Amino acid sequence: MPVATTKMLEFMQELKKVVTVGVVGGSDLVKISEQLGITVFNDYDYVFAEKVLVAYKGGNLIGTQSFKSYLGEDKLKEFINFTLHYIADLDIPIKRRMFIEFRNGMLNVCPIGRNCSQEERDEFEDKVHNIRSKIVFVLRERINNLGRHAQAGLVDEGRGYIKLLLECGMRPTIQHYGCMVDSFGKAGLVGEAYEVLVQCRLRRTW
């Protein structure tokens, strides 16, 4: 696993003297600490793990989403079973272990297994067989069928997303709204995206 260089870490500390600095990572806190150091909470104002689904400010947990509580144990088990069967039938050069890593906010699916070495990762040339793009398509269809994009849940999630930004003293930008509208749009809920933005009592610019 690649780690931050001393030069990069020193630069981030200099940057922190001028602006508020936050770290955003797809990994859990353990792996983020391995990459940025065990003092990551002291080194940065905010730490957002698991693709911003677990948020810390000054070392204190300020927000989290649980994939299990959101989807439900039965649907989660059904999805995991389907995924493992799908991976088992894939004809790929190597397979190791830990094909699914369970986290609070997400499931990390790896067709060759997360316990493979960095060299094995490099050898697995996915661009040739497009394994990832195919599995993303299949799993997206499957999880949509499980009702992941339920209207009420998505609307509440959108409200919570904006609320968390404001509570952290962060001013939402067009990129934040764009991500939310994109997520709503894929679920066919563009009208609901407008509803959330209006309820946030933010001044419109259109």
Residues at the binding site are 103, 114, 121
Q: Which residues are part of a known binding site for alpha-D-mannose 1-phosphate?
A: 103, 114, 121
DSSP state string for 97-121: S--EEE-SS-EEE-TT-TTS-HHHH
Which segments within the chain are labelled E, that is strand? 22-24, 46-49, 54-57, 60-64, 100-102, 107-109
Other C-beta atoms closer than 10 Å to the C-beta of 34 total 13
Query: Angle 61-173-197 (CA atoms, 0-180°, nearest 5)?
Result: 85
DSSP type of residue 17: T
CA 82 and chain centroid, separation: 21
Phi, psi of 88 (to 5 degrees): -60, -30
Q: How far is CA 195 from the centre of its chain?
A: 24
